[in-house]
Amino acid sequence: MINKSAERVFEKKRQRRRQLAKLPFEKKIEIIVELQRVAASIKNDKRHKVWPI
Amino acid sequence: MEKALSVIEEMTCLGIIKAYAIGGGIAATYYIEPILTYDLDIFFIPVQEGLDELAPIYDFARKCGYVEEAEAIIIEGFPVQFIPAYNNLVREAVAEAITVKYRDIEVKLVRAEYLTAIALQTGRAKDRERALLLLESEAVDRDTLTRILKRHGLLNKLSKLKGKSHDK
C-alpha cells in the first residue's frame, strides 16, 4: 500500500522521466557523457572512459 | 559519435556484416531517459554464420588501425561491442530495426518492443530495470510487445516482472 503523498512523489518522478525521454537523441547522448564525467570524478575507473564527443 | 556510427554503416556497405542495429543502453536511451552506459552495443547478422563470426570485423578494425580493448573495439574513441545475433529474437530485432538520425547520419536502432523483449529474456537486474522503464514510457506498443513475447515464449517473464514491480 502506498499513501497519497508518496504516490504524488512517484507520479512527479514519472513525469520527470517522461520529460527527459522526450529530449532529442543528441541531447541525451550529451547527458550520458556528462554522467560519465561525474562518475569519473568520483571514482578513478581505468576500464571506463569518458566518450570524446 | 557520428564517426563511429559511420564506420559501422560502412561495414554494412562493404559486406563485412549483413545487417546491424544499435541495442543496449544507447538504444534504450533513444526511448527513455538517458542512462549511464559506456559501450555502444551493436547486434549484427554475420555474413557467414557458424565459425568465428567476429573475425571479419576484427580484421577490418585492425586494417583501419582500431584497437581492441577487453571485449570491445575502440572506433574513433568509442568502445563498440559487436554482438552476433545469438537467437531468433535478436535476429528479428535486427531485421525489424528502425532508422533514426544522429546529427547528420542515419543509423539502425532496435525497436522499443524488441529492446523490452530482449531485456526480459536476458533477465539480469539491470535488464529488468530497463524493461520496467521502457514499459513505463510511451515508446512501447503493448500489442506489438505481446505478439513478440508470445512468439518467443516470454509472456511469463513479463507477468513475473509486473508482479515483482507491484510488490515494491
Give the residue carrying C-alpha cell 581492441: B68
Spell out which residues of chain B touch residue A53, defining contact as CB-CB under 8 Å.
1
Which residue intervals of chain B bear CATH 3.30.460.40? 2-110
Q: Which of residues 10-49 of A touch B (CB under 8 A)?
A: 14, 17-18, 20-21, 23, 25-26, 28-29, 31-32, 35-36, 39, 47-49
Buried b or exposed e, range A3-37, using 16+ CB within 10 angstroms: eeeeeeeeeeeeeeeeeebeeebeebbebbbebbe
Residue-wise pLDDT for B90-148, tens only, equals 999 999 999 999 999 999 999 999 999 999 999 999 999 999 999 998 899 999 999 99
Give CA–CA dist A38/A34, Å, rounded: 6
Query: Can you give the pLDDT at residue B62?
Result: 96
Reading the block at residue A33, the C-alpha cell is: 557523457
Cβ distance of A18 and B34 shorter than 8 Å? no
Helix (H) or strand (E) holding B112: helix B112-122
CA distance B155 to chain A (A): 25
Residue-wise pLDDT for B23-62, tens only, equals 999 999 999 999 999 999 999 999 987 778 999 999 999 9
Query: Can you give the pLDDT at residue B138?
Result: 87
Domain B2-110 has CATH 3.40.50.10440: no
**pTM, full prediction:** 0.91
CA-wise closest residue to B137 among A23, A33, A8, A31: A23
Query: Can you give the pLDDT at residue B59?
Result: 95
Query: Can you give the pLDDT at residue B4?
Result: 95
β-bridge mates for residue B19, sequence order: B45
**Mean pLDDT in residue range B75-83:** 95
Residue-wise pLDDT for B16-26, tens only, equals 999 999 999 99
Query: Can you give the pLDDT at residue A52?
Result: 87
**Mean pLDDT in residue range A9-34:** 93
Cβ distance of A48 and B38 shorter than 8 Å? yes
Please give the ipTM for the structure prediction.
0.87
Is B30 touching A (CB cutoff 8 A)? yes
Cβ distance of B37 and A32 shorter than 8 Å? yes
One DSSP character per residue, A10-32 reads: HHHHHHHHHHHHTS-HHHHHHHH
One DSSP character per residue, B12-77 reads: HHTTSEEEEEEEHHHHHHHHSS------EEEEEEESS-SS-TTHHHHHHHHHHTPEEETTEEEETT
Residue B167: is its pLDDT beyond 60?
no
Cβ neighbors of A36 (< 8 A, separation 6 or more) are A48, A49, A50, A51, B36, B38
Is B168 touching A (CB cutoff 8 A)? no
Give CA–CA dist B34/A27, Å, rounded: 9
Query: Can you give the pLDDT at residue B166?
Result: 55
Torsion from C-alpha of B86, B1, A17, B81, nearest 10 degrees: 20
Is B167 touching A (CB cutoff 8 A)? no
